[in-house]
Amino acid sequence: MSITTKTGKIKGGEFLIKETEAEEIFIPEEWNEEQHLIAQSCKDFLQTEVYPKLDKIDSMEYPDLMPSLLKKTGQLGLLGTAIPEKYGGFFMDFNTNLLIAEGLGSSHSFIVAFSAHTGIGTTPILYFGTEEQKSKYLPKLASGELLSAYCLTEPDAGSDANAGKTKAILSEDKKYYLLNGQKMWITNGGFADILIVFAKIENDKYLSAFIVEKKFGGITMNPEEKKMGIKGSSTRQIFFNDCKVPVENLLGEREKGFKIALNILNIGRIKLAAATLGGSKVAIQKSIRYANERKQFGKSIGSFGAIKHKLGEMASRIYAVESAIYRTGQYIQDFYNELLDDNKADSDPAMSAIEEFAIECAILKVHGSEVLDAVVDEAVQIHGGMGFSAEGPIERGYRDSRINRIFEGTNEINRLVTIDMLLKRAMKGHLDLMSPALQVQKELTSIPELGSNGDTSLFATEKKILRNLKKAGLMVAGAAVQKLMHQLKEEQEILMHLAEILIEIYIAESAILRAEKSILLKGQKAGDPQITVSKIYLYRAVDIITKSAKETIYAFTDGDEQRMMLLGLKRFTKIDPYNLKEARRKIADIMLENNDYVI
């Protein structure tokens, strides 16, 4: 059976109101030979250069070690894969860049330094810099000759970045700005040559951005922060005291710094998700191998049902988030390609494409970081005492995982952002949420359909479940908007539950679509484990959506309205029994037999 691709752009957030076809998405089973080689080169680099030095990296007693490792990735070309060739890079497609983030994602503190340099430290210049700025800085950032950091957060300005107090005063001769202020939690701060700094010019209301070279002077730093995890990542407070920044180093337009920050964070969010995917895969791999090696009561612990349950659940969550990450990456690339062909982008087409899928980027940041947390937690449990020991292979990963729920905007902020963006797009007419929401309301008072609709395709049942889950989301969100109106923005608990529903719909749908397309590519027999693992995740999603929707309904309804919505929820979350115990055991047995994460 051949694979075809539908034409026409898919909009960000549209998954809630549109049924996506498997042929429309990219799946990891489609990686080409070059991409496999790139992924392997990342793994080889970690094996030879990073893993043997993890203790040295974490000790912070070798200040030149991390910069030297970053420069080595520059020599391998890994620092410039998002940079155009004219500026010394390789300009690879978006999913390949995500694959590199995944490939290096299990490197603990190193991936933090790498991501800070290639992402938030370089992309502001790449997407918002002048031609002169790009020509001056990008080739050296791509090679590793210059290393970078991103300076946004201040002591009194975290999530509310625009509350920052750092000031830039134009000199009398109008040749430079005098920069004064304080930044904190600056990754790579101890060794970065280039700083992307956000400050308000004079008495401006909004932030501007600057490219600041450390050699400009007027820059001092506090000692390295002592942290729970990612101990080898340089994290410093940085102080600017009459730092002279040439006027030509203003990045982008005056007072447009917040737009730069938001767009760059969107890229950082999806790349963080890819990195957490890499960490999750290594954690489950170590768990599988330990489960095969560790003997208790005369047999391997992997033969016990409790361990198989953990491994099967870990695998389903990894598979599902991986499916969503590369689905989104291809959406971004396709949107970019169309804008480039049509020359329709208001600004850089790459930024327009990233902004279009900001909802999905926020979803993936939240979900990817929480999957990694869950996977490393279970990995510690599978390893038992050895998992808790600093001499074992898991303890560092457990500690290092925790920061990802705070990086790139806390998961709470990102949950609120997903719903805020979705509703704003609906109000602007970019997404028609009202029509399907009203249709769902009509359906609540209609007689439910009985029996099959005649669709006997492989995933007909699962797709019907997904359609109904979307109806449940539209029902609850639509009612909340109608009932609470402007007050809704203050009801953060409700918004968080709505975000949870949105997240689970996207992740579960991505897993089912991947399994379907994989079967189209490889045949049903080869794709059978993917059917199983995607169904495991779908049942998990139904449970989470049901709970979140119930709590939301309880929060703002009562009486007949509440009873009707609960009946509607029961209808929309109906799912036939499925032996999840046997499904998890099946997936665990496959992985234990292969001694690796293999689906």
Contacts within 8 Å (CB) and 24+ apart, 56-63: 57/108, 57/109, 57/110, 57/232, 58/108, 58/109, 58/231, 58/232, 58/396, 59/231, 59/232, 60/224, 60/231, 60/232, 60/234, 63/190, 63/191
Q: Which residues contact 511 (CB under 8 A, 6 or more apart)?
A: 316, 319, 320, 323, 324, 533, 534, 537, 538
Q: Which residues contact 31 (CB under 8 A, 6 or more apart)?
A: 39, 99
| Residue in 240, 248, 141 with CA at minimum distance from that of residue 199 | 240
Q: Which residues contact 403 (CB under 8 A, 6 or more apart)?
A: 112, 227, 228, 229, 230
User: What is the C-alpha separation between 458 and 461, in angstroms, rounded?
Assistant: 8
Structure tokens at 336: 């970019």
**Which of these CATH numbers, 2.60.40.1170, 3.90.470.20, 1.10.1060.10, 2.40.110.10, describes 150-251?**
2.40.110.10
Kindly indicate whether the domain formed by 431-594 is annotated with CATH number 1.10.3720.10.
no
Fold match, 258-413 / 431-594: yes
pLDDT confidence of residue 347? 63
| Residue in 222, 194, 221 with CA at minimum distance from that of residue 210 | 194
pLDDT confidence of residue 457? 81
Secondary structure (3-state) at 566:
helix
User: What is the C-alpha separation between 109 and 140, in angstroms, rounded?
Assistant: 23
pLDDT confidence of residue 2? 28
pLDDT confidence of residue 346? 55
Structure tokens at 320: 């599902």
Catalytic residue among 14, 408, 504, 509: 408
pLDDT confidence of residue 455? 74
Q: Which residues contact 420 (CB under 8 A, 6 or more apart)?
A: 489, 495
- Do the strands 194-201 and 167-170 form a parallel or antiparallel pair, or are they unpaired? parallel
In this structure, CATH architecture of domain 258-413: Up-down Bundle (1.20)
User: Can you give 521-533 as a three-state secondary structure string?
Assistant: HHCHHHHHHHHHH
pLDDT confidence of residue 6? 42
Is the pTM above the cut of 0.75? yes
Residue by residue, pLDDT tens for the chain (599 residues) are 222 334 457 899 999 999 999 999 999 999 999 999 999 999 999 999 999 999 999 999 999 999 999 999 999 999 999 999 999 999 999 999 999 999 999 999 999 999 999 999 999 999 999 999 999 999 999 999 999 999 999 998 767 777 889 999 999 999 999 999 999 999 999 999 999 999 999 999 999 999 999 999 999 999 999 999 999 999 999 999 999 999 999 999 999 999 899 899 999 999 999 999 999 999 999 999 999 999 999 999 999 999 999 999 999 999 999 999 999 999 999 999 998 887 655 567 888 999 999 999 999 999 999 999 999 999 999 999 999 999 999 999 999 999 999 999 999 999 999 999 999 999 999 999 999 999 998 898 877 766 666 677 889 999 999 999 999 999 999 999 999 999 999 999 999 999 999 999 999 999 999 999 999 998 888 789 999 999 999 999 999 999 999 999 999 999 999 999 999 999 999 999 999 999 999 999 999 999 999 98
Tell me the one-letter amino acid at 151.
Answer: C
Secondary structure (3-state) at 266:
helix
User: What is the C-alpha separation between 20 and 513, in angstroms, rounded?
Assistant: 8
Secondary structure (3-state) at 82:
coil
pLDDT confidence of residue 472? 98
Residue pair 326/368 in contact (Cβ under 8 Å)? The answer is: no
* Superfamily classification of domain 29-147: Acyl-CoA dehydrogenase/oxidase, N-terminal domain (1.10.540.10)
Burial class (CB in 10 A: 0-12, 13-18, 19+), 18: middle
Structure tokens at 446: 């209609």
Q: Which residue has the tokens 């992985």?
A: 591
Where are the domains positioned within the chain?
29-147, 150-251, 258-413, 431-594
| Residue in 509, 259, 236, 268 with CA at minimum distance from that of residue 369 | 268
Determine whether 516 is an active site residue. Answer: no
